[in-house]
Structure 1
């Protein structure tokens, strides 16, 4: 694996123009995973010891941090992030913070899961970022309060040890702890500001909850579904198609660049586990002049075989074990399209093919887990 680039030290003071022109970032190998701390999945910053200059909730806002050089409030410069006051020492003889001094924030993940990577983004915090950060994870059932999370007896696992970070930079960390976490504790040493926190990983749902639901969306991100691959991610990520709720604006769906050949675009998904699909929905909300013209949906039961074949060509029927459950069908712009299958279809994977290009905002596959799917999901949950 290629080493992740590290950034340390202050950035240069803002000199005008595009504030992101000198922003330091790198390509991180884990960002294809879902952001488990996405506010749109229900994540929240439930407590922090200090948020004097800027509120903790900014950490999980979607989109990159904004900077207005002219915006000041009665406490000072208004920053789009979480910023604490400057720490001081204990006396005139020792005015500096102690080595162990730090500020902290507690984050409830939107969905529990295995963390594969973390980005601590200090965008626009050029000389007022923390010197170092650290991150811990815990798995606590139910809906614990901050006091319960901080109580003795809660086991916290180090995900990112105390590590120097840079100002005005995307500081990325690969995580190797293969456990299921529900909450994180972010520490900044000794104080300062962080613009955004991103927590990339794999959703691990509670099988008891899904079993109780009976019929549910078996490809939804919050239930453990995920995108495995896609032909094009030019305008927006394919993962948007399995996010909660309806799309609220055009870039909240999946849109491809304009094709100039005779091909088509597609997304391949892994379901939460083996399931029987009974109905599906394709939504093109807010895609008006750029929605897909036609779409087809295929599934495959890949419990004992490869599922990658055929992803880039054809409608999915027949070859490589893919079974077409919705033939190529005309789509309308800005419309929800619902289809009831004549008979349930067993699958572990699904694929949507759009013709020739354009986009869809959401794909929903409604079904129930098979006995084998429930067994697999339960075993995976228990081992984590």
Structure 2
């Protein structure tokens, strides 16, 4: 899911950038992960403070625009242009273009950009990108105002090329609270050696959550996200199973003997041979699972589709990591010696018992030589 976007590159129109186009940790506000908020009493020297990107009322020719580098390059399947709280000042129309750059631009805009546009030299560098000619993913489209029942403007996209940057065009000016870009990460595997260890399931490498049994408090796709989890909400947590025995018993390994389990299935970004595993229960101190195990298999696109239809009751699963007792708030490392003998796989299933929370899952391995395009483009798109 390409929700995190980074590195605002430039704006169109000299000194036409909104006084409220702010930065936080080098990330512009209207692409932040957190939902927008409205503070009625918040004003600045430049006008009302708004949690998003708002341009001043344009009094010269042209329209406003910006270029954004995706936090995760990949295949885009849709956008949400969120106008929350921009009720009399939202942008009336937008269009979105996309490009795939082999090299990143040689500059960044840092710090508080309030009431500032890109410099002439920065604009000259952006001009070399030719972004105005990039393919159009969303044609000029009307936006609805930022009331709670109309603020989310969704656009479905059918574009089968890898994207690293997008250009958002406002027509002619106005405000947008948040931009969400949804899709599947796609790494350029041509530069990765088959001897190099990579996290095969990472979101940044094209890993996708395809199914799960329960996601009451947190979605399992969070487990393949960037870095360590910020909090429990940034992980996967299930509800407590109601079929837990009234009195719990353990086996000789100290693992609870319970009838129930929860699970999540992932497609790897690239098939490979897994040699080590990390299961991180960071932040889960009184609600971590008692134990986990991991199964793996190799599926064709057709077999994957069939498994999705049967809610993963079919498949050729084999144990990769036998049941392991888990600890609270801890990174569990499992080396190759602790894994069952395996062959290259394309899918894994994490199983926890009886329930609880896991913040991150890392599957380190080496690639199986295969055409990278077929891995990322032939597969059905996750709808989760």
Task: Give the alignment's TM-score, normalised by structure 1.
Answer: 0.79
1:172-226, CA deviations, whole angstroms, 9 ceiling, x for partnerless residues? 0001122111110001111111111111012121112332771111001111111
State the shift of 1:264 in Å: 2.0
Report the counterpart of residue 38 of structure 1 in structure 2.
4
State the shift of 1:260 in Å: 1.2
Q: What secondary structure, in the 3-state scheme, does the structure 2 residue paired with 1:111 have? A: strand
Given the superposition, is the C-alpha separation of residues 381 and 352 from structure 1 closer, same or farther in structure 2, using an over 3 Å criterion? closer
C-alpha distance in structure 2 between counterparts of 1:180 and 1:246, whole Å: 26
Given the superposition, is the C-alpha separation of residues 140 and 74 from structure 1 closer, same or farther in structure 2, using an over 3 Å criterion? same
Report the counterpart of residue 10 of structure 2 in structure 1.
47
C-alpha distance in structure 2 between counterparts of 1:115 and 1:183, whole Å: 11
Tell me whether 230-239 or 280-289 shows the greater mean CA deviation. 230-239
Report the counterpart of residue 63 of structure 2 in structure 1.
102
Q: What secondary structure, in the 3-state scheme, does the structure 1 residue paired with 2:293 have? A: strand
Task: State yes or no: 1:235 paired with 2:217.
Answer: yes
Report the counterpart of residue 115 of structure 1 in structure 2.
76
Tell me whether 274-283 or 302-311 shows the greater mean CA deviation. 302-311
Gap regions ≥5 residues in structure 1: 1-33, 90-97, 314-318
The 8 Å contact of residues 277 and 333 in structure 2, kept in 1 or not, is answered as: yes
The 8 Å contact of residues 269 and 376 in structure 2, kept in 1 or not, is answered as: no
C-alpha distance in structure 2 between counterparts of 1:250 and 1:219, whole Å: 20
C-alpha distance in structure 2 between counterparts of 1:382 and 1:270, whole Å: 13
1:309-346, CA deviations, whole angstroms, 9 ceiling, x for partnerless residues? 88667xxxxx8421111122211110000101234542
Gap regions ≥5 residues in structure 2: 23-27, 107-121, 244-258, 379-384
The 8 Å contact of residues 208 and 221 in structure 2, kept in 1 or not, is answered as: yes
Tell me whether 166-175 or 137-146 shows the greater mean CA deviation. 137-146
Report the counterpart of residue 156 of structure 1 in structure 2.
134
C-alpha distance in structure 1 between counterparts of 2:167 and 2:301, whole Å: 39
Report the counterpart of residue 292 of structure 1 in structure 2.
289
State the shift of 1:88 in Å: 2.4
How many positions carry a matched residue from both structures? 328
C-alpha distance in structure 2 between counterparts of 1:304 and 1:71, whole Å: 52
Task: Give the alignment's TM-score, normalised by structure 2.
Answer: 0.79
Given the superposition, is the C-alpha separation of residues 69 and 328 from structure 1 closer, same or farther in structure 2, using an over 3 Å criterion? same
1:117-152, CA deviations, whole angstroms, 9 ceiling, x for partnerless residues? 001001111111011111000111111246444327
C-alpha distance in structure 2 between counterparts of 1:121 and 1:304, whole Å: 34
State the shift of 1:247 in Å: 1.1
Spell out the pairing of 1:47-126 with structure 2 (5 A cutoff): 47-49=10-12, 50-55=16-21, 57-88=28-59, 101-126=62-87
Q: What secondary structure, in the 3-state scheme, does the structure 1 residue paired with 2:193 have? A: helix
Task: State yes or no: 1:273 paired with 2:270.
Answer: yes
